[in-house]
Structure 1
């Protein structure tokens, strides 16, 4: 049975606990990192923990993935998001992978800081997978053995400065400003029998109460098993590392039609990107200071609920 775990700060101490019905039951022991915690605990070891002693509202929620862990991401992994990003889903036959700086990780209720130089701040709700074991050589991952690699799941919001990412072709820089990677509130630990829920989760994001993104993980183009198989042949992963699996359509970014892109390609670079900025700045969907972004991931049928992530946008320097 799944267990929602929270990493929190209370009275100056950072602890881990089981979150249920608005209450937190502290877990014995001190675990400095997500890896330290997952090497000891799983859905099975925490299944009987309950009877919370703290109100969840009385603690400060921290990211359940600590900054020592890797933060790897999939891009354009829902068909409709490919289309709105200017990609042809029938021609894109590769799994797009990038990373975010771990210093951008923050708690689920912390503000998102829009740097003064950034005017095109976008949002991206994503399902995050947290690894339960090290992967140091190429492995074949299937739906049948996926549970051996995944400890649990989290909400991730991949905030993006489109005016850095797109004109500069800098995924890493455009997506790695401090506060651009809230994670949580919960790390939902899954047992082997529940791993199939990864293909049944409803994702939703709203801005100031208006729903902007809504989809289901059954529409992922490259699923977890296929992606882990591929990435295991590229790099090492470790217990507690995070893989964000891509966002649905509904982002603020608007990509010109292929015809307009061909015309823009004939322009000098500075004119092309001046046109890009002019078009994008007309879109009211981009985030502004004072906006509140709420994200959720759940599967009602399976009793899985990762909570609600809530971030207020504030002006930075």
Structure 2
């Protein structure tokens, strides 16, 4: 059975608790990181949790992934998003991996700060997976043993400054501004029998109430098992680290057609990027000050409901 956990601030202290129907049952103990919390709290233990409860409305949300964990991301990992990004899904044969600065991680209801220098602020709803154990050598991970590696799931919004990311070829910089990584509200801890539902999650993102992104995780090109197997041959991963699995189609970003790209390739570099930025600035989908972005991820049977992120876009403080 899936267990929904909230990391929150109450009476001046950061705590963890099991959430059900708007009520929190606090989990005893002090945990300095997401990894420490997961290591000390197997799902089976939390199923029998009891004690005094508090209304969720009385607490302040915190990110269920703490900033001392790694924030690893997959790019162009839904077929339709690959197409709208100017890629041919039948030709691209690699798993695009990048990272975000963990200092961009904030709570799910935090404001998103649009830096003065950023003109093209985009949204990207993503399923985030939180690791259950350390991985320090190459391992073969499959759908059958995935439950040994994945503790649970969260919502991630991979906010992106497209005018930094693309013309400057700066994925890390363009996606790592402070507040560009809301996580949560809930960390849904999963058991072995819950793992198939990771392929049955519905992702929905709205801007000012209008649906911009709507897809299911059945559309993932490189799944969690395949991705973690690949990463295990590259780097160490730790309990509590976050893997954001990519975003569906519907982002504000629009990539020129192959014909226009070939024509632009003949132009001087500065002119090529001037035209690209002009094309993007004509698109009203990019976020502006005052916009409200909401993101939800829910399984078909609603046994997994990762809650609702709500982010108000605000200007950078003077």
Shift of 1:248: 0.2
1:126 aligns to what? 126
Kindly provide the CA deviation profile for residues 60-79 of structure 1, in whole angstroms up to 9, marking residues without a partner as x. 10100000100000000000
State whether residues 20 and 52 of structure 1, in contact with CA within 8 Å, keep that contact through their aligned partners in structure 2. no
Alpha-carbon deviation of 1:274?
0.9
Contact 1:23 1:52 in 2 (8 A): no
Tell me the distance in 2 between the aligned counterparts of 1:288 and 1:301: 35
Q: Which string of whole-angstrom CA distances, capped at 9 and with x for unpartnered residues, describes residues 78-108 of structure 1?
A: 0000011111111100000000000000000
1:64-79 correspondence to structure 2 within 5 Å: 64-79=64-79
User: 1: distance between equivalents of 2:52 and 2:294?
Assistant: 26
Q: Give me the TM-score of the superposition, normalised by structure 2.
A: 0.98
Task: Write out aligned runs for 1:1-317 (5 A).
Answer: 1-49=1-49, 53-301=53-301, 303-317=303-317
Which deviates the most, 302-311 or 253-262? 302-311
Tell me the SS of whatever aligns to 1:129.
Answer: strand
Runs of 4+ in 1 over 3 A off after TM superposition: none
* Deviation string, structure 1 residues 167-201 (Cα, Å, up to 9, x no partner): 00000000000000000000000011111111110
User: Are the counterparts in 2 of residues 197 and 302 from structure 1 also a CA contact under 8 Å?
Assistant: no
SS in 1 for 2:37: helix
CA-CA distance at 1:52 after TM superposition: 6.1
Q: Is the 8 A contact 2:200 2:300 kept in 1?
A: no
Point out where structure 2 has 5 or more consecutive residues left out of the alignment: none
Q: Distance in 2 between matches of 1:218 and 1:184?
A: 21
Secondary structure of 1:127's partner? strand
Q: Are the counterparts in 1 of residues 86 and 257 from structure 2 also a CA contact under 8 Å? A: yes
Q: 2:130·2:154 contact (CA, 8 Å) conserved in 1?
A: yes
Secondary structure of residue in 2 paired with 1:29: coil
